Structure 1
Amino acid sequence: MTIHKAAAIGGGVIGAGWVARLVLNGIDVSIYDPDPEASRKVGEVMKGARRAYKKMLPTGLPKEGRISYAKTIAEAVGGADFIQESVPERLDVKHKVLAEIDAHAPKDALVGSSTSGIKPTDMQPAMKRPERLVVGHPFNPVYLLPLVEIVGGEKTSKKFIERAREAYASIGMKPVVIRKEIEAFVGDRLLEAAWREALWLVKDGITTVEELDDIMRYSFGLRWAQMGMFQVYRIAGGEAGMRHFMAQFGPALKWPWTKLMDVPEFNDELVDLIAKQSDEQAGDLSIRDLEKIRDDNLVAIMDVLSRTNKGKGWGAGALHKDYVKQLSRLAAKGSNAKAEPTKTATPGKPKKKQKV
């Protein structure tokens, strides 16, 4: 599926990130967000995204798609073939918004939800055409991080799962279809586990916010940036690989190390402790300053990864390499160019043909 016109319902951090990725791929986007500050907030995200993309492609970016602001959901989704909903995480709000999208969008339009935890089956009762709803869960910043988790509900058709895969791939993303529907999907469930343990470690005075972040970014965070958990542990098993690692460290799973099934009381005292330490960690750096540092680091990491593996790239770097080439082609084609699917493959494995 090639996206010709998109609609973004919700222009917060995630919604604006979707707008930036789409627009910088030359796709027109109509936005609906009742927030009177929506235009300014989207503009700030666009400014950061343009800055990051210029670092990715210093020779010149594609002509941007047009951004327009609609007064109603009906106006925003009219004529759109791709719609991304990014409204607050409340099921009643999702139902209301999805019902309006469903009533006014073209009948074959793909509808993706950016929800970070609600199952699509729970959202589908609001729609007369539930077969076209998928969860398209991204990670912030959406315009740079390529992963999108695709989750279908009980009434989602295989046709729209495949269309979603093609649509997200066409704007340089790495779609992963989650095999079974589950709350919070995969990425956020892993993050939630780490977040719970981190809160305990800070609350109990074992470490501080800054020290914990340093422990992550100076060690396994660097490993995770280019290899996932299982591949890292396979190497840790030595020549015998994963079986040896499992045999050696498997018994530790029974030790009472973590508090994953418990959570510290979420009260003002805990919030003040975390917020105070976070303020001290940030120092004079504003949120915008931190966003720039984050984006610069992400572009640099992906650029380095794009040059490894004998020049073929590795992991997110392999996809980044292809995405930069795609943006270069769009820039060369000129104002009428639209994004086409990016062909990617897992390093070390033969490329497979995309299903049509």
Structure 2
Amino acid sequence: MTAYKAYDAVRRIAVLGCGTIGASWAAYFLARGYDVAAWDPAEGWKQRLQAFVDNAMPQLQAVGTATGAPGRLEMLDTPEAAVTGADFVQENATERAPIKIELYRRIDAALAPDAILATSTSGLILSELVEGIASAPRFVVGHPFNPPHLIPLVEVVSSKVTDAAAAEWAYGFYAHVGKHPIVVKKEVKGHLANRLQAALWREAFNAVVDDLASVEDINAAIAQGPGLRYALMGPHMIFNLTGGKGGIRAALEQFGPPMASWWETMQRTPAFDDELKSRLIAGIEAEMGDRTIEDLENERDTRLVLLLRMLKETEGER
């Protein structure tokens, strides 16, 4: 059985793939004081990564993630060089199975014998990616939510060949560095949180197809309503409060039957046809107005920082 490093002994983290997710991970690990060895195959990635890190650091300081001096960022030309000597690897290659499989084959022999690799895949099945990979027992899913440097959640999923101790180590390491890991007990497409999101998007898209409301009002139906509650407690706990003093038992008794009748009308999957796409695009463009994607990202992250600070400040009130 492989003996994995103590969390305090981890010093160097490799980040493979430095697009939106990978750059965010790199900023987070740097802010926590780890040295980061980064690699990406795209042109101009080094400049983009540095710009992202520079922009993210003040946010990480504002939410209290940054602890002491930041780690050292090293940008390398091959994935083999990046993982050499790394204690932990966060892989964020493009969400396509052939690309990830090729990357795993390239780095297989270069990984340290006690290094664990976590893939940020948002929905691929890890067991289908690691066939023939000698280090596969040390691979797990470590799926974050965008942007990873601010959103605490990380989903930990094992493949059919993952060493149970490696999965346990990954879970503990994410907690050690300040994340909120959860264990997804089975491999399913989309893991858990994305499946919950997909269920909501299905009904949101159907609301567009059925002309139930404008795209802007559909967004407001979540952002100005249940979305505010979900930032504080999950759906089951919110449902518990729906029952008032009677809690979950009263809620199930009172609201279970009518909700079941709603579910009967929610079995349709919308078609991604040109009409739906056009209506979604037009609705979003109208709501965006003159704002750019960069403006929206800044708006999102500014509000996330404020929300995370509030949540951290009130943790002791439970």
TM-score, normalising length from structure 1?
A: 0.82
| Cα separation, partners in 2 of 1:240 and 1:57, compared to 1, 3 Å | closer
SS state at 1:255 partner: helix
Query: For 1:95 and 1:126, how far apart are their aligned partners in 2?
Result: 10
1:230 matched to 2:242? The reply is no
The answer to whether structure 1 residue 148 and structure 2 residue 157 are counterparts is no
Distance apart, 1:57 and its partner CA: 4.7
Out of 123, 126, 136, which is 1:130 matched to?
Answer: 136
On the 8 A contact 1:149/1:175 being kept in 2, the answer is yes
Aligned residues of 2:28 and 2:60 also touching (Cα < 8 A): no
Return 5+ residue gaps in structure 1 as ranges.
314-346, 348-356
Is it true that 1:247 corresponds to 2:253 in the alignment? yes
Letter in structure 1 aligned against 2:240: R
Alignment of 1:1-356 (within 5 A): 1-2=7-8, 3-57=10-64, 62-256=68-262, 260-308=266-314, 312-313=316-317, 347=318
Shift in alpha-carbon separation, 1:280–1:36, aligned structure 2, 3 A: same
Q: Which has the higher contact order (CA 8 A, sep 6+)?
A: 1
Task: Assess, with a 3 A threshold, how the Cα gap between structure 1 residues 252 and 41 changes in structure 2: closer, same or farther.
Answer: farther
CA contact (8 A) 1:98 1:126 kept: no
Contact 1:31 1:70 (8 Å CA) reproduced: yes
State the 1:112 CA deviation: 0.3
Q: Is the 8 A contact 1:95 1:126 kept in 2?
A: no
| 3-state secondary structure, aligned to 2:160 | coil
1:270/1:126 CA distance change after superposition, 3 Å: farther
Give the SS at the match of 2:249: helix
The 2-side partners of 1:304 and 1:69 are apart by 35
1:260 Cα shift?
4.9
CA offset digits 1:214-264 (Å, max 9, x no partner) = 111111111111111111111111222111111122223442557654322
- The two structures have a TM-score, normalised by structure 2, of 0.91
Instruction: Check whether the contact 1:11–1:32 (CA below 8 A) recurs between aligned residues.
Output: yes
Query: Alpha-carbon deviation of 1:106?
Result: 0.8
Does the CA-based 8 Å contact 1:5-1:29 persist in structure 2?
yes
Percent identity of paired positions between Structure 1 and Structure 2: 34
Q: Structure 1 CA distance, aligned partners of 2:163 and 2:70?
A: 32
Q: How many angstroms does 1:162 deviate by?
A: 1.8
**Contact between 1:74 and 1:104, CA under 8 Å: does it hold in 2?**
yes
1:28–1:260: structure 2 CA closer, same or farther, 3 Å change rule? Answer: farther
What is the alpha-carbon distance in structure 2 between the residues aligned to residue 46 and residue 23 of structure 1?
A: 9
Question: Would you say how many aligned residue pairs link Structure 1 and Structure 2?
Answer: 311
Deviations 1:41-88 (A, max 9, x none): 323422331231242359x86322222222111111110011111112
8 A contact 1:8–1:86 mirrored in 2 = yes
Q: What per-residue deviation string (whole Å, max 9, x for no partner) do you get for residues 252-307 of structure 1? A: 34425576543222133322221222122112222222222212211211222223
Q: Distance in 2 between matches of 1:126 and 1:189?
A: 29
* C-alpha distance after superposition, 1:146-203 (max 9, x if no partner): 1100001111112111210222122210111112222211100100000111111112
Separation (CA, whole Å) in 1 of partners of 2:183 and 2:121: 15
Alignment partners' CA distance in 2, 1:137 and 1:289: 26
Structure 1 residues 57 and 232, CA gap change in structure 2 (3 angstroms):
closer
Calculate the aligned-residue CA RMSD, in Å: 2.0
